[in-house]
Structure 1
Amino acid sequence: MLWVKAFHLIAVICWFAALFYLPRLFVYHAMSEDAISRERFIIMERKLYRGIATPSMVATLLLGLWLLHFNPAYYMASGWMHAKLSLVALCVVYHFYCRHFMVQLRENRCQKSHTFFRIFNELPVFLLIPIVILVVVRPF
């Protein structure tokens, strides 16, 4: 179980690193004015999303389910786990919302400003903090 937990934590860290960096690329992409810069950001966003973010998300979810499998009665009876899983579901929604913006930016039809993406970039922090607190403190 400890090996599964270790790899789960590694996957979570990688996933959140990608969720923190991808919207930052959107900021720079939205600010870019020349075709060469825009093309560079399209490539960087695609590689980050497909090569790191999505595989890390899948690993996080599969390893998390594996951890639940070790003691499902305890975990599913815990209020903190329900809250955590709800926040993880929001992380998945955020992940796919990033894909939505990535496609819009790639097709040059995104109407969002770099200021919007600066705010959007901060949202994963508001998911990560309560998730960590719920897992470590287990308040209910």
Structure 2
Amino acid sequence: MTDLLFTAYPWIKALHIMAVIAWMAGLFYLPRLFVYHAEQVGLDGTTHALFQTMEMKLLRVIMNPAMIATWIFGILLVGIPGVVDWSLVWPWTKAAGVIAMTAFHMWLAGRRRGFARGENSLTGRQYRMMNEVPTLLMVLIVLSVVVKF
């Protein structure tokens, strides 16, 4: 199995990077949709229904599969001998960043369910602030992998 993973390394890495890009796009866009939903649309009417559809499809069709693919290909990369040295700090900071990114994803899913129930307790400004979370986590993850601090 290790030989197969080693041979497939460039493909696994490429698929991991593509999955991360798709996931990050959703993590950046969904909170932005929430900003407009909270500030411009409200919690009823046809535009509310349209925003619910856009938010649900973004989460279910793009973000969830991309997150799952990111995790699968990332775990496969970790399983290839020589890719990760767990005695260093960087794999742990990357892992912490990915877990935090996953928690943020789940938080967004919860906010989407709230909008679907006609409930929203956050303002557009609060969603704008939360929109910075994936950027900060991305910086941590990329610096961990590239600089290997």
CA offsets 1:76-106 (integer angstroms, 9 cap, x no match): 2221001100110000000000011001111
**What does residue range 1-140 of structure 1 map to in structure 2 within 5 Å?**
1-31=9-39, 32-33=41-42, 35-71=45-81, 74-139=84-149
CA RMSD of aligned residues (A): 1.3
Q: Which runs of 5+ in 2 are unaligned?
A: 1-8
Q: Point out the more displaced range, 102-111 or 68-77.
A: 68-77
Cα shift at 1:71:
2.0
Percent identity over the alignment is 35
What SS is found at the alignment partner of 1:70? coil
CA offsets 1:33-64 (integer angstroms, 9 cap, x no match): 45111111100000000000000000000000
Please report the TM-score for the alignment, with normalisation by the length of structure 2.
0.89
Within 2, Cα distance between the matches of 1:59 and 1:45? 20
Whichever of the two has the greater Rg, that structure is 2
Within 2, Cα distance between the matches of 1:88 and 1:113? 26
Within 2, Cα distance between the matches of 1:17 and 1:129? 15
What SS is found at the alignment partner of 1:76? coil
Cα shift at 1:109:
1.4
Q: Which runs of 5+ in 1 are unaligned?
A: none
Cα shift at 1:5:
0.4
Please report the TM-score for the alignment, with normalisation by the length of structure 1.
0.95
Tell me, yes or no, if the aligned pair for 1:80 and 1:138 is still in contact at 8 Å. Answer: yes
Letter in 2 for 1:85: A
Tell me, yes or no, if the aligned pair for 2:84 and 2:91 is still in contact at 8 Å. Answer: no
Size of the aligned set, in residue pairs, is 139
